[in-house]
């Protein structure tokens, strides 16, 4: 599935969500009118919950979603996200990825925005994701990463797009506050692989490829084995005397 198709899918999803929000607001307004008409003095008490219902679904994270599903920054953001996934140690939740990416690009990144990309990568079989069942929406969890495929995508599609989101931050946008230092007693789980681990894995892959090439070069091909077998059969046939030669030899023995 191409990026254009995925962009169209995300556009339909965003339109559907905005339509649901409008329905919720109209329902809340209708309930407000009915409650104010039913009990005169209760209208003032009904106002605060209505504002909560209207303003409740919209959060800071949702406001960070781009107006168009694919923009000029999305390619760079996709590059940054793929690099983070290539360094990740599953299982990793989308919330943890959002925190890591926010610190990298120095912008607030919503979990929903990241999950759209994760679903796209899962469709392309670059990663495996899971989500808990239930009424409450739980964040996505990356259960596996196909490092070989992710590396190939990074080298092929993003060779000339080296993630420059930190440079393209618009002046005036709110930046993240500095993170508080953790005490030595706090041991956070390791989410991403170190450079040494990535380098060791690349060396192992290179050694395995070299071994495979040497084994293929040293092994005889099927054609060589067949040729050798045919040659042995010919030599065996040539070394055996024919029936005519045997009869002539027997005749000479009987005469002489």
Q: Each residue of 139-176: pLDDT tens digit? A: 888 888 888 888 888 887 655 555 444 444 434 444 44
Final residue in a domain of this structure, among 32, 58, 84: 58
pTM score, two decimals? 0.43
Q: How far is residue 248 from each of residues 236, 239, 242, 243, 255, measured CA to CA in Å?
A: 21, 17, 10, 9, 11
pLDDT of residue 78: 80
Q: Are residues 23 and 90 in the same domain?
A: no
> Between 233 and 5, where is the model more confident?
233
Tokens of 25: 């607001």
Q: Are residues 25 and 93 in the same domain?
A: no
Q: Are residues 110 and 196 in the same domain?
A: yes
Rounded distance between C-alpha atoms, residue 20 and residue 18, angstroms: 5
pLDDT in tens, 15-69: 888 888 888 888 888 888 888 876 554 444 444 443 333 344 444 444 444 433 4
Which residues does residue 128 pair with via DSSP β-bridges, in sequence order? 144
Q: Model confidence at 11, in pLDDT bands (50, 70, 90)?
A: confident
pLDDT of residue 185: 45
Give the range of the structural domain holding residue 157, as residue numbers without chain letter.
71-171+189-211
- Please say if the pLDDT value at position 14 is more than 60: yes
Final residue in a domain of this structure, among 58, 79, 97: 58
Q: Are residues 45 and 107 in the same domain?
A: no
Q: Are residues 204 and 111 in the same domain?
A: yes
User: Sign (positive/negative) of CA torsion 122, 126, 131, 137?
Assistant: negative
Tally of structural domains, the chain: 2
Q: Model confidence at 256, in pLDDT bands (50, 70, 90)?
A: low
Q: Model confidence at 72, in pLDDT bands (50, 70, 90)?
A: very low
In a domain, 229, yes or no: no
Q: Are residues 15 and 128 in the same domain?
A: no
Q: Are residues 28 and 132 in the same domain?
A: no
In a domain, 200, yes or no: yes
């Amino acid at each position: 599935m191409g990026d254009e198709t995925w962009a169209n899918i995300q556009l339909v999803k965003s339109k559907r969500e905005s339509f649901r929000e409008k329905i919720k607001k109209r329902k809340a307004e209708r309930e407000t009118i009915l409650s104010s008409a039913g009990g005169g003095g209760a209208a003032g008490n009904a106002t605060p919950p209505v504002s909560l219902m209207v303003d409740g679904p919209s959060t800071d994270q949702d406001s960070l979603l781009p107006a168009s599903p694919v923009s000029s920054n999305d390619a760079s953001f996709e590059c940054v996200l793929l690099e983070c996934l290539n360094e990740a140690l599953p299982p990793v939740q989308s919330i943890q990825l959002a925190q890591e990416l926010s610190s990298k690009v120095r912008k607030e990144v919503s979990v929903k925005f990241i999950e759209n990309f994760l679903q796209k990568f899962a469709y392309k079989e670059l990663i495996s994701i899971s989500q808990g069942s239930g009424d409450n929406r739980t964040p996505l969890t990356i259960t596996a990463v196909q490092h070989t495929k992710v590396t190939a995508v990074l080298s092929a599609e993003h060779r000339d797009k080296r993630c420059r989101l930190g440079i393209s931050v618009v002046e005036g946008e709110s930046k993240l506050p500095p993170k508080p230092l953790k005490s030595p007693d706090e041991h956070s789980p390791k989410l991403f692989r170190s450079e040494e681990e990535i380098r060791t894995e690349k060396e192992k892959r290179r050694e395995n490829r070299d071994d495979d090439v040497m084994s293929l070069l040293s092994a005889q091909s099927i054609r060589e084995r067949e040729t050798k077998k045919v040659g042995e059969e010919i030599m065996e046939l040539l070394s055996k005397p024919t029936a005519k030669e045997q009869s002539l030899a027997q005749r000479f023995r009987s005469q002489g």
